[in-house]
Amino acid sequence: MTRLGEFCRRNPTIVIGAMALMAVAALAIAAPWIAGDPMALAPIDRLQPPSAAHWLGTDFLGRDIYDRVVYGARISLIVGLSVAVCSIVIGLTIGLAAGYWRGVDTLVMRIMDGLMAIPAILLAIAMVSLNRASVWIVIVAITIPEVPRIVRLVRSVVLSVRTLPYIEAAVSGGSPGVKIVVRHILPATINPLIVQGTYITASAILTEAALSFLGAGVPPEIPTWGNMIAQSRLFIARAPWTIFAPGATLALVILSVNLLGDGLRDFLDVRLARRMV
Which positions lie near other proteins, rule CB under 8 A? Answer: 110-111, 113-123, 125-132, 202, 206, 209-210, 213-216, 229, 233, 236-237, 240, 243-244, 247-248, 250-251, 254-255, 258-259, 262, 274, 276-277
Neighbouring residues of 233: CB distance < 8 A, sequence distance ≥ 6? 243
Which C-beta is closer to other proteins: that of 97 or that of 211?
Answer: 211
* Pairwise CA distance, residues 120 & 114, whole Å: 12
DSSP bridge partners of 58 = 64
Which C-beta is closer to other proteins: that of 35 or that of 141?
Answer: 141
DSSP bridge partners of 64 = 58
Q: How many CB atoms lie within 10 A of CB 240?
A: 14
DSSP conformational letter for 44: G
Which C-beta is closer to other proteins: that of 58 or that of 258?
Answer: 258
Least Å from the CB of residue 234 to other proteins: 11
* Pairwise CA distance, residues 134 & 129, whole Å: 11
Least Å from the CB of residue 4 to other proteins: 21
* Pairwise CA distance, residues 145 & 116, whole Å: 7
Least Å from the CB of residue 39 to other proteins: 21
Which C-beta is closer to other proteins: that of 142 or that of 193?
Answer: 142
Which C-beta is closer to other proteins: that of 171 or that of 235?
Answer: 235
> Among 261, 262, 238, 236, which residue's Cα sits nearest to residue 247?
236
* Pairwise CA distance, residues 85 & 87, whole Å: 6
Least Å from the CB of residue 59 to other proteins: 15
Least Å from the CB of residue 12 to other proteins: 14
